[in-house]
Amino acid sequence: MDGETFIKTLVDEVLAQYLHGQEQICGCERCREKIAALTFDALAKNRYVTDQKNHPSRRVQGVDGQLKIEAIRELSKIAPGFKKTSCH
């Protein structure tokens, strides 16, 4: 699994858990995709991926726990912009 795929999988997982407890945030497919993409961008910008996109990255996989915490932190900044009432 390359670094990018790894992050996308992680973001999906964290997002599913996050939305579960957030009734005000829209969980429709369109919003979920947008939230996931923004979270992915934030994480990718914060570190690594860009220069090793197509190669397996041990560094990325090695920081699983920390990356997950970062993903949750970014999500909690991004997701509140997608409230059920405000986006559509």
Q: How far apart are CA 39 and CA 25, in angstroms?
A: 15
Of 36 and 49, nearer to Zn ion (C-beta) is 36
Q: How far apart are CA 72 and CA 82, in angstroms?
A: 15
Name which position in 7, 10, 26, 78 contacts Zn ion (CB under 5 A).
26
Of 28 and 69, nearer to Zn ion (C-beta) is 28
> Shortest Cβ distance from residue 30 to Zn ion (Å)?
5
> Shortest Cβ distance from residue 84 to Zn ion (Å)?
7
- The stretch among 27-35, 45-53, 55-63, 64-72 that binds Zn ion (CB under 5 A) is 27-35
Residues 14, 69 contacting (CB under 8 angstroms): no
Should residue 37 be labelled a site residue for Zn ion when binding is judged by CB under 5 A?
no
CA distances to 45, 58, 82 from 4, in Å: 12, 12, 24
